[in-house]
Structure 1
Amino acid sequence: MKQPKNNTGTQDSKDKKDQKPPFGADGFNWYYFLLFIFLIVLTFFSNPISTTREIGWTFMQDSLIAQNRIQKIIVVNKEFAEIYIDNGQLNGQNNKDVGERWFQSVPVPKYRITIGSVDTFEEKLQRAQQDVEPGKKIEIQYQNRTSWVSILSWLLPFGLIILFWLYLLGRLGKGGKGSNSIFNFGKSTAVLTEKGAKSQVDFNDIAGLKEAKAEVMEVVDFLKNPERYTKLGAKIPKGVLLVGPPGTGKTLMAKAVAGEAQVPFFSMSGSEFVEMFVGVGASRVRDLFKRAKEKSPSIIFIDEIDAVGRSRGKINAFQANDERESTLNQLLTELDGFGPNTGVIVLAATNRPDVLDKALLRPGRFDRHIYLELPTKEERIEIFGVHLRPLKLSKNVDVEVLAKLSPGFSGADIANICNEAALIAARKKKSKVEHEDFLEARDRVIGGLERKSKIISPKEKEIVAHHEAGHAVVSWYLKNVDALVKVSIIPRGKSLGSAWYLPEERQIVTKSQFMDQICASLGGRVAEDIIFGEPSSGALDDLEKVTKQAYTMVSYYGLDEEIGPISFYDSSGQNERMLGKPYSEEMAKLIDKEVQNLIATAYERTKNLLSKHIDELKKLAQLLLKQEVVEKEELEALLGKRETNNTEAPSKAFDSIDN
């Protein structure tokens, strides 16, 4: 990694990181191992293997004293006696009783006898030498010895315990990312990207999101050229909140900021603040801002800030010392407290802005809210361009067509499709990724893997065919329904069949569009009722979708004439904490009645439409039973040209019959 010349801090940290311990991965275990080997060797050489033989008094009296073979006796610690033999009495076997001890030759005892008491031993020895001349009596010496073996037998267990605790505390005391040290609970676990570090992501890797990228790039410019703004009296914003659905590029935007800002960048998740110990979250917040201020100007990025930034409401009234709330209070203090916070900008990301505390969102803390929405067609073309760079593409791949095929897709969805297409091409042993691979990858991502091996009885297959044909015929003759482009009865995922649509990219939906969509969803259930005289359980997904849509029309959008323009939608999320509903029982009964009437009306309308076009319904069902998949061209040949302006290809929205 190339370092700037003036960035000594980064270079020093790099040099320290490159230094390796002298003995292996961490070096610490080797020291203990070598010390253990040293103690064993020391014990062995201090107490060599001896040829000393344990004897009793009878053998000593009859074989040694009587034959005058004993040179001297040494009584050790008043416990046993070592008997040294006169080598001149061993018939020329000189030096047989001389032992080698390490690097020098020293005499070693030939025999050893355990004595009960020194006085008794002396009396026995005196009686055994009554007839011996005074000058030839055996010399007796007394010694007090301290053996290395005895010392080690006492010290080694304590030493091993001490070494174990030193090792354990040393491991626990190490800092760094992911450390669970008992000494570092209150320390921040944020990952620091130093100034000058090369990042793998920059703003060139972010396609679309032009407005959001311009806002974030301006924040980077604040840190690079602060005098341009401060000379006019402007203040650098303290916090920037990235808001958007999952997969729209919030974390990717933060990674690009880390690569482009050229200032220290601290990144961590909101859940890393909260631990099982009280006060750890607030301590980590303090430590994080302390580190950031020491390296100012710097940027702090908190991903999924809703983990600690949830609204402090009545639901936490019984938790006077809630850890999450104390962490949020400390975060609020650091963002706009009494102390200065110059040169530190906080980036945060969430897909749940409705649950965040209002004090966190006010100006002065998070001054800017940047909304990242699902990409448009033009932005999807740019996103495909980014994710197609590393792929080996065939010439028949049309990026514009791929963008048309993916309305409602996020950047993460597009990345998934590109990766799946490459995997499918590799599975088929192709040298390049072709357009058909992208179509197959899109179908797999949306509907799941094809299960052609799933065994379906002929009767069930006939029901599935008429169910999907009912969806197709109703949606074909209702102009406000999204364009139908493919019908299939091949099982995918949990569904036994599916009808593929291309949703229009609309911002508002009228009442007539809602009603036509409900009728199209009921087409499969009505077709079963008309053809077979009874419905089946396969319409579960359709009924769930229709019921939710009807309740949304009545209680949220105010599209019912009886109830009128009243909305019970709660954008703040406060109603989620209420045990009851935000309306009376009478209103609840009225809403249920209107929803039931709305669905019944749509059901009758759908039944009349399919009864009128029952021949087309039967023909399409037979075609599905024959070839399992019917494309757009075959639908036009069978049902005629559809009167609609939306003639694009299939997309992420589809209806299915449940398994």
Structure 2
Amino acid sequence: MSEKKKNNPKFTLNSYWIYVPIILFFVTLHFFSSGSFASKRISSNQFNEILKENDIEKVMIINNSVAEIYIKKDALENKEKYEKIKKSAFYRKGAPVYEYNFGDLQNFENKLNKAKEEYNLSLDYDHEEKTSFFETIISILPFIVLILIWLFFMRRMSGAGGGAGGGGQIFNIGKSRAKLFDENTKVKTTFKNVAGLEGAKEEVQEIVDFLKNPEKYTKLGGKIPKGALLVGPPGTGKTLLAKAVAGEAGVPFFSLSGSDFVEMFVGVGASRVRDLFKQAKQKSPSIIFIDEIDAIGRARGKNSMTGGNDERENTLNQLLTEMDGFGTESNVIVLAATNRAEILDKALMRAGRFDRQIYVDLPDLHERREIFEVHIKPLKLADDVNLEFLAQQTPGFSGADIANLCNEAALIAARNNKTAIHHQDFLDAVDRIVGGLEKKNKVITPKEKKVIAYHEAGHATVSWMLKYAAPLVKVTIVPRGQSLGAAWYLPEERKIVQTEQMLDEMCATMGGRAAEKLIFDKISTGALSDLEKVTKQARAMVTVYGLNEEVGNVTYYDSSGNDSFVKPYSEETAKVIDEEISKIIEGQYIRAIEILDQNRDKLDVLAQKLLEKEVIFKDDLIEIFGKRPFEKDDKEEDTSSEQETGAFDIS
């Protein structure tokens, strides 16, 4: 019974309902106060008859066109013909009884004057200008419509119904839209829900401790930090970390996005910043979290097309002043998150505003294992699921990617009508996310299929024969996503990469095109993604890492991102760079052809096996090539393993 009551929609009073009775009141007041409302319209003959009988007390000429006729009190009470009018619900004493449309005013006045003399009448007449209630409404109606349209659009643009502080109302457009989390609206996320990120957690835990026990730090003369900036790639857990701070802090926590300050009206952004910090100071000690701060924190004076009075710059200036301006002694800490720290204004990044920059990096092997343990809690797993292996199979995955992987595995298991999620479902989910959706029904001719098989076999053969190339896990010629074939690798997790390692990886990448050239003496467009990858690697070797002897120990990389429109080298140097890039790529291409030529028989066997099975694994390669002579011990491989994809793309 209680549940039914809860589900019943509650009656809510809308403010607009107040206008309805007000309008009805004025309309009714007009009708009852109007003397002409109860009056009866009469003809010329009827008017002449009443005039001759001397029943008329007064004639009021309205707007020079209509006569309102007032009847004498004695005539109303004694004559029978007025009884019907007196019984009318709208009759009011002292109001006009008849209404006569006389036509020409001069003729009507002459008629009255002549009748007064002829019949010795005691009537009087006068003139009055009146405006009808409805005429007034009609005259101002266009202005009312324009005002209503303006209010409608202003309400829509100010985000109707959104945000704290009444941001949805037109008069509250300058109010902050921050969502407040305090003792009434507690956040359930804590640091226990954040897997990995040990260094980042330690930093933000200290901020929470500052607010809980400020005397511990201030008694030694220290000051509480003004702010901390969370920087890192998308999906690494910056916002989750801020939620954990909100859950742990026990102080008011204001959360909003950088875009919440942006508005088309001049001065609104700065006004919202002021209101936000005003609310935070009133509830201090408190925390403000601004997600995606690059929306307002972009460096000033760069790529500005709106002139000097840029609204975004005004908002940023106000934020700078509030964070560390003249007289900003308050117990308010600002947390912000962005994945584009390089474009933020230097004034925003300086100490005193954001005292700490906390880099939230992609998780390593151990952290990925912890993240998996968090996300598998609500899942029904089979006994064969190996989280250690899954952590090895997901290099470069962010926390958001791993959450998506677990969900995808659950969907795959449900699609196959399983009662639990098996290890193979997770592997299929990895393939689905990294390579794309499998397209077994894609029409490929036998000739194209053979080219694809040799292309992928070329990748597998070259990578197997090179010391620093990543060991292969799986090769497939089943179309997946935009690829017609793919090879999965398990490379080492390196902190630095040496020249030989980069060259071996480039050689393995060129193995596909080299196999096409060796077998068919023709090349196809299928190596587009391979060429793109090796070109980027070769360019990085020459222009970024200084790994080319001809160009030397020089880098043309600018981490600040200010060289996008300026070429930092001469035309002569550009020519040398182009030549060296081409020389590196062509050298590895020739090297790949030589390796494949030396292992031609094994390449043919591998390609034929691919054509038969469509998918082959590491065990098949060991059967054909034998164990790699430079392969590391299993223990070492388990502690440092990653995965990449090399796809055979047609564009």
Q: TM-score range by the shorter chain?
A: 0.7 to 0.9
Q: Could you tell me which of 508, 518, 526 is aligned with 1:530?
A: 518
Give, in angstroms, the shift of residue 24 of structure 1. Answer: 3.6
Q: Secondary structure at the match of 1:364?
A: coil
Deviation by residue 1:70-116 (Cα, 9 ceiling, x = unmatched) = 966863426336598999999x9995565521598999968856364
| Amino acid paired to 2:542 | V
8 Å Cα contact 2:47-2:100 kept in structure 1 = no
2-structure distance, mates of 1:337, 1:542: 53
Q: Could you tell me which of 576, 585, 594 is aligned with 1:608?
A: 594
Counterpart in 1 of 2:6?
none
Give, in angstroms, the shift of residue 452 of structure 1. Answer: 2.3
- TM-aligned CA distance change 1:529 to 1:367, over 3 Å: same
Give, in angstroms, the shift of residue 226 of structure 1. Answer: 0.6
2-structure distance, mates of 1:146, 1:425: 85
Q: Could you tell me which of 623, 639, 646 is aligned with 1:655?
A: 646
Counterpart in 2 of 1:299?
287
2-structure distance, mates of 1:572, 1:164: 50
Deviation by residue 1:271-297 (Cα, 9 ceiling, x = unmatched) = 444444555544444443333222221
- TM-aligned CA distance change 1:43 to 1:623, over 3 Å: farther
Counterpart in 1 of 2:226?
238
The answer to whether residue 572 in structure 2 is matched with residue 579 in structure 1 is no
Deviates more, 1:197-206 or 1:598-607: 197-206
> Superposition RMSD on alpha carbons, in Å?
4.0
Deviates more, 1:117-126 or 1:196-205: 117-126
1-structure distance, mates of 2:172, 2:620: 68
The answer to whether residue 244 in structure 2 is matched with residue 262 in structure 1 is no
Counterpart in 1 of 2:331?
343
Q: Could you tell me which of 110, 117, 120 is aligned with 1:120?
A: 110
Residues 373-392 of structure 1: matches in 2 within 5 Å? 373-392=361-380
Q: Secondary structure at the match of 1:560?
A: coil
Q: Secondary structure at the match of 1:346?
A: strand
Deviates more, 1:99-108 or 1:243-252: 99-108
8 Å Cα contact 1:310-1:357 kept in structure 2 = yes
Counterpart in 2 of 1:36?
23
Give, in angstroms, the shift of residue 124 of structure 1. Answer: 7.0
Residues 317-466 of structure 1: matches in 2 within 5 Å? 320-466=308-454
Residues 473-492 of structure 1: matches in 2 within 5 Å? 473-492=461-480
Residues 535-546 of structure 1: matches in 2 within 5 Å? 535-546=523-534
Deviation by residue 1:315-337 (Cα, 9 ceiling, x = unmatched) = 77996555544544443443333
- TM-aligned CA distance change 1:124 to 1:296, over 3 Å: same
- TM-aligned CA distance change 1:358 to 1:105, over 3 Å: closer
8 Å Cα contact 1:299-1:346 kept in structure 2 = yes
Give, in angstroms, the shift of residue 207 of structure 1. Answer: 0.5
Q: Secondary structure at the match of 1:574?
A: coil
- TM-aligned CA distance change 1:51 to 1:352, over 3 Å: closer
8 Å Cα contact 1:292-1:300 kept in structure 2 = yes
Counterpart in 2 of 1:250?
238
Q: Could you tell me which of 625, 628, 634 is aligned with 2:611?
A: 625
8 Å Cα contact 1:70-1:84 kept in structure 2 = no
| Amino acid paired to 2:136 | W
Deviates more, 1:308-317 or 1:297-306: 308-317
The answer to whether residue 187 in structure 2 is matched with residue 206 in structure 1 is no
8 Å Cα contact 2:455-2:515 kept in structure 1 = yes
- TM-aligned CA distance change 1:623 to 1:75, over 3 Å: same
- TM-aligned CA distance change 1:29 to 1:194, over 3 Å: same
Q: Secondary structure at the match of 2:494?
A: coil
8 Å Cα contact 2:254-2:287 kept in structure 1 = yes
Counterpart in 1 of 2:203?
215
Give, in angstroms, the shift of residue 55 of structure 1. Answer: 2.5
Deviation by residue 1:211-254 (Cα, 9 ceiling, x = unmatched) = 21111111101000111111122221122121222211111111
- TM-aligned CA distance change 1:470 to 1:139, over 3 Å: same
Q: Could you tell me which of 54, 77, 84 is aligned with 2:61?
A: 77
Give, in angstroms, the shift of residue 608 of structure 1. Answer: 0.8
1-structure distance, mates of 2:219, 2:253: 25
8 Å Cα contact 1:83-1:111 kept in structure 2 = no
Give, in angstroms, the shift of residue 623 of structure 1. Answer: 2.4
5+ long unaligned stretches in structure 2? 1-9
Q: Could you tell me which of 100, 104, 109 is aligned with 2:88?
A: 100
- TM-aligned CA distance change 1:144 to 1:465, over 3 Å: same
Residues 131-142 of structure 1: matches in 2 within 5 Å? none
Q: Secondary structure at the match of 2:404?
A: helix
User: Percent identity over the alignment?
Assistant: 51
8 Å Cα contact 2:235-2:399 kept in structure 1 = yes
Deviation by residue 1:573-604 (Cα, 9 ceiling, x = unmatched) = 3323x422x22333222222222221121111
Deviation by residue 1:117-163 (Cα, 9 ceiling, x = unmatched) = 44433367579xx8xxx8xx99857587898x824532575489569
2-structure distance, mates of 1:512, 1:305: 41
Deviation by residue 1:484-534 (Cα, 9 ceiling, x = unmatched) = 111112222211111111232111112111111011110111111111111
Q: Secondary structure at the match of 1:514?
A: helix
- TM-aligned CA distance change 1:159 to 1:572, over 3 Å: closer
2-structure distance, mates of 1:230, 1:310: 33
Q: Secondary structure at the match of 2:246?
A: helix
Counterpart in 1 of 2:132?
150
Q: Could you tell me which of 208, 214, 233 is aligned with 1:226?
A: 214
| Amino acid paired to 1:153 | E
Counterpart in 1 of 2:489?
501
| Amino acid paired to 1:220 | V
8 Å Cα contact 1:99-1:105 kept in structure 2 = no
Q: Count residues in correspondence.
A: 622
2-structure distance, mates of 1:439, 1:29: 58
Deviates more, 1:373-382 or 1:356-365: 356-365
1-structure distance, mates of 2:214, 2:249: 13
1-structure distance, mates of 2:412, 2:579: 50
| Amino acid paired to 1:75 | V
| Amino acid paired to 1:640 | G
Give, in angstroms, the shift of residue 311 of structure 1. Answer: 4.2
The answer to whether residue 622 in structure 2 is matched with residue 636 in structure 1 is yes
2-structure distance, mates of 1:653, 1:233: 51
Counterpart in 2 of 1:8?
none
Give, in angstroms, the shift of residue 413 of structure 1. Answer: 0.6
8 Å Cα contact 2:67-2:99 kept in structure 1 = no
Give, in angstroms, the shift of residue 169 of structure 1. Answer: 6.0
Counterpart in 2 of 1:12?
none
The TM-score normalised by the length of structure 1 is 0.82
Q: Could you tell me which of 545, 552, 572 is aligned with 2:540?
A: 552
The TM-score normalised by the length of structure 2 is 0.83
Q: Secondary structure at the match of 1:189?
A: coil
2-structure distance, mates of 1:112, 1:185: 56
1-structure distance, mates of 2:545, 2:77: 121
2-structure distance, mates of 1:125, 1:505: 117
2-structure distance, mates of 1:322, 1:43: 52
8 Å Cα contact 2:464-2:628 kept in structure 1 = yes
8 Å Cα contact 1:308-1:327 kept in structure 2 = yes
The answer to whether residue 558 in structure 2 is matched with residue 570 in structure 1 is yes
1-structure distance, mates of 2:67, 2:350: 89
8 Å Cα contact 2:529-2:649 kept in structure 1 = yes
1-structure distance, mates of 2:100, 2:311: 72
Give, in angstroms, the shift of residue 651 of structure 1. Answer: 6.4
Q: Secondary structure at the match of 1:468?
A: helix
8 Å Cα contact 2:116-2:123 kept in structure 1 = no
1-structure distance, mates of 2:302, 2:26: 66
| Amino acid paired to 1:411 | G
Give, in angstroms, the shift of residue 632 of structure 1. Answer: 2.6
8 Å Cα contact 1:69-1:89 kept in structure 2 = no
| Amino acid paired to 2:624 | L
